[in-house]
Amino acid sequence: MFIGHFGVAFGAKRAVPAVSLGTLFVACQLADLVWPVLVIAGVERVGVQPGLTVVTPLDFIYYPFSHSLVAAASWALAFAALYTVLRGARTRTGILLAAVVASHWVLDALTHRPDLPLTPRAGSTRVGLGLWDSLPGTLAVEVLLFAGGLWLYARATRAIDRTGRVALWALVAFLLAVYAANLFGPPPPSGMAAAWSALAMWLLVAWGYWVDRHRTPVRL
């Protein structure tokens, strides 16, 4: 899943207006921000096998620290605790941030084939409902999540200058272009190449902070 995760972040802004969109991007994609770093470091492993699923050729061979259920719960707790302590935020904000982090695993479990381990232990049960075997099904879920979240964000905030408008819609266009390239472009030459390009996710986090600085929450 790609743009669906961002849909969750956009939508969450309405519930926690004081939290920057950039922080919400980190939360919704924490697993996929950590994952390429661990692959490049040789800790986790990914391969490429064209035809493995209809939507993606990536073969997630080993990724228990970024993508097991236990890891997801731990990342969620750690991220929420850190944010709450550092920013002096309310418990409600922390709980919502934890839910956004955890939503990554839930949405991945919907789309991945059964490759998501429950625990980091070797031989752990792997789960995944395999929505990636259907292109129309994947598109329907991701586009609906993305459009719904974006609609909430656009209504819950307003641009305070031209950048607040232009940077948001440029971000949306960029996300859709990357998504289309992932879906319909050629497979990456190797797992390592996929991990290196996935590092660009960090750029999207910076873009989220930039957009959010030029928009302000509105009372609904």
Residues 66-95: x where in contact with Zn ion by CB under 5 A, - otherwise, as a string: ------------------------------
| 32 contributes a contact to Zn ion by CB under 5 A | yes
Q: Are 168 and 211 in contact (CB under 8 A)?
A: yes
AA letter at 122: A
Among 3, 8, 68, 108, binds Zn ion (CB under 5 A): 108
Interacting stretch for Zn ion, rule CB under 5 A, among 72-80, 100-108, 180-188, 199-207?
Answer: 100-108
- Return d(Cα 143, Cα 28) in angstroms, integer: 16
| 131 contributes a contact to Zn ion by CB under 5 A | no
| Nearest CB to Zn ion, comparing residues 21 and 31 | 31
| 31 contributes a contact to Zn ion by CB under 5 A | yes
Taking the complex as a whole, the smallest distance from the CB of residue 18 to Zn ion amounts, in Å, to 27
Q: Are 135 and 183 in contact (CB under 8 A)?
A: yes
Taking the complex as a whole, the smallest distance from the CB of residue 155 to Zn ion amounts, in Å, to 28
- Return d(Cα 127, Cα 115) in angstroms, integer: 6
Tokens 């929450």 label which residue?
A: 217
- Return d(Cα 187, Cα 111) in angstroms, integer: 18
| Nearest CB to Zn ion, comparing residues 32 and 133 | 32
Interface with Zn ion (CB under 5 A): 31-32, 108
